Amino acid sequence: MELNPLKLPVSSLAAPAAVIIFCAFLALAAARFPGGFSPITVGMGELGDPGLNLDGAGIFNAGCMISGVPVLVFFAGLYKWYGDELWRNLFLGGAQVAGVAAGISLIMSGYYPEIYADNHLFWLTAFFVSLLVAVLLANAGLLTFWKYSNRVGIVGMVSIALLAVAAAALLAVGEVAAFEWAALALAFAWMIVMAADMYVTFM
């Protein structure tokens, strides 16, 4: 297969960039969390709260703001899947809009850390809800497309389930750390396998 760098899907670059940036800043911030970081007990809001994580909150919040950019670029790049079927294009268009909203919401959740309680909760909830909608619409639009790999569809369905749980928890009771991190990990996993699938399909 002859590779043409000019045809490289932007999503195939944006997904790993988002994950690497977010995880790098997360690791730096978590290392500074007093008493040690646990994804079971410490949520995104707490990790970015200067009152709870004085030395690491700024790092984590900066990571959210920076990684939000490649997240929205990744979803914008799903236009590569557009084809002749209008219904599929509508699903993908909705996924793009929701995904861009997720990227913006991630940026804003870092801009408004947990000390701005109402603003932070709004943007964090918006992030998980819009990410849920984006993955749901993209997966629904592509599941019957012959070029869409089964492994991406399976990861997408698991991601949708966990994002739904995390979003429901945020809307009902506020942050539940374990749900947040599990949902985010699976959403990032879906982005990575989708990026790899797009590389193979469109290069």
Residue whose pair of structure tokens reads 């760098």 in the numeric block: 5
In degrees and rounded to multiples of 5, residue 39 shows phi and psi of -70, -10
8 Cβ contact list (under 8 Å, min separation 6): 199, 203
Domain boundaries, the chain: 10-202
Cα 188 to its chain centre, rounded Å, is: 6
Biggest CA pair distance of the chain: 55
- Cα–Cα distance for residue pair 132/134, rounded to 1 Å: 5
Rg, C-alpha atoms of the chain? 17
- Provide the residue-wise pLDDT of the chain in tens; the chain has 203 residues: 455 555 789 999 999 999 999 999 999 999 999 989 999 999 999 999 999 999 999 999 999 999 999 999 999 999 999 999 999 999 999 999 999 999 999 999 999 999 998 999 999 999 999 999 999 999 999 998 888 888 999 999 999 999 999 999 999 988 899 999 999 999 999 999 999 999 988 87
- Cα–Cα distance for residue pair 142/149, rounded to 1 Å: 9
